[in-house]
Each structure stands twice: as structure tokens, then as C-alpha cells.
Amino acid sequence: MPTAHVIHDQKRFALTIERLCRHLIENHGDFSSSCLIGIQAGGVLLGKRILERLEDLTGKKVPFGKLDITFYRDDFRTRNKPLEAHPTEIDFLLEDKRVILLDDVLFSGRTTVSAMNALQDFGRPRQVELLVLVDRRFKRVVPVQANYFGIKVDTLGDAYVDVQWEETDGQDQIILLGS
């Protein structure tokens, strides 16, 4: 059984969300030309949390969408079982918007590339930025870098980063499993 270490507890988790929101406000102001797009499924959970706090802090409604990348993945046809698609819900135009793409963990970079390809079906954004809760720096296979990150985690071997959410797991925390 792999060892598990909590590397970000509930208190630090909340502080990280707060810091990310303040950084976004500093760079996007009132969000009149910006929007948030969460990548299904972990990026949507992060996006909802960021959205709620941004709207509290700014008093403005921030456009938020959910993006499924299942059929844009490069390993779509190489799985033993069919991938389960989630709904894409983007009810606003991305044309000339500053898009903040959200995901829970940045690892290989493949998910981000797939998401950027999928975004093109919804218009041509002026800019795309990436916000991740966890940036796993090793084993990146495509040159993707986050504009905003909560924490950086250096992992080797078979280590796995598990982001747990109060809504689905009963508690907000980030756990490192393995070596």
C-alpha cells in the first residue's frame, strides 16, 4: 500500500484559493473582458470555488463555463474501456475574451493542449491563461506552463497527487501518494 502524506491541509487550501483569486483580480480587474473555463472534472470543482470567491470579492458576475475534452485527448482511442464524457457548458462567446483555463493538477500538459484545441470550437479568444491548483513539475511531455499556480510539487517515480474536495471527498486537502 502506498504511503500517503497530506501536503496541503484545509486551512492552507483555503489560503491558496484566496491568493489565486487576489492575483486574478490584480490582472483582470472587473472581469468585463475575461471569463473562467473549468476543465471537466477537477477544473470545474476548482472553477466553482474560484468563481464563488471572485464574485464575493468583486461584487460582479464572472462568466464561467465547463469544458469537456474527452474527444480531444490524444489517448482517446487507446484506453481499454470507453472514456466517460462530461457536459460542456459554455453559454457565452469566447471571441476576443481573456480566457482563464482552470485545472486541478498540471502534470504532463496533455490535458491543457486538449483543452486549448477544444476551446477553438467556441471562438477565438484574445488570450488564454492557465490556472492550476497543483503544478507537478516533473514528467511534463509538452511545453505547457501555468500562469497561476497554487503549489508546485516535485514528484519522482510512481508518486501521485490527489486533490480532494469537500463536495466530493468530505474535506479540502491535497495528498501525495507514493514515493
- Cell readout for 37 is 473555463
Strands 4-8 and 173-177: antiparallel
pLDDT exceeds cutoff 70 at 78: no
Amino acid identity, position 29: G
- Strand (E) or helix (H) holding 173: strand 173-177
**Strand, helix or coil for residue 120:** helix
**pLDDT over 90, % of the chain:** 75
What is the tens place of the pLDDT at every residue in 91-135? 999 999 999 999 999 998 999 999 999 999 998 999 999 999 999
**Strand, helix or coil for residue 111:** helix
Sign of CA dihedral 11, 17, 18, 23: positive
pLDDT exceeds cutoff 90 at 71: no
Strands 173-177 and 160-164: antiparallel
pLDDT exceeds cutoff 80 at 80: no
What is the average pLDDT score of the chain? Answer: 91
Judge whether 62 and 35 are in contact, CB under 8 Å. Answer: yes
pLDDT for position 75? 61
Domain architecture of the chain: domains with CATH: 4-25+34-73+89-177 (3.40.50.2020)
- Cell readout for 16 is 491558496
Residue range 140-155: mean pLDDT, rounded: 92
> DSSP code of 89?
B
User: What distances in angstroms separate CA 109 from CA 5, 11, 160, 165, one per listed residue?
Assistant: 24, 28, 15, 22
Judge whether 61 and 91 are in contact, CB under 8 Å. Answer: no
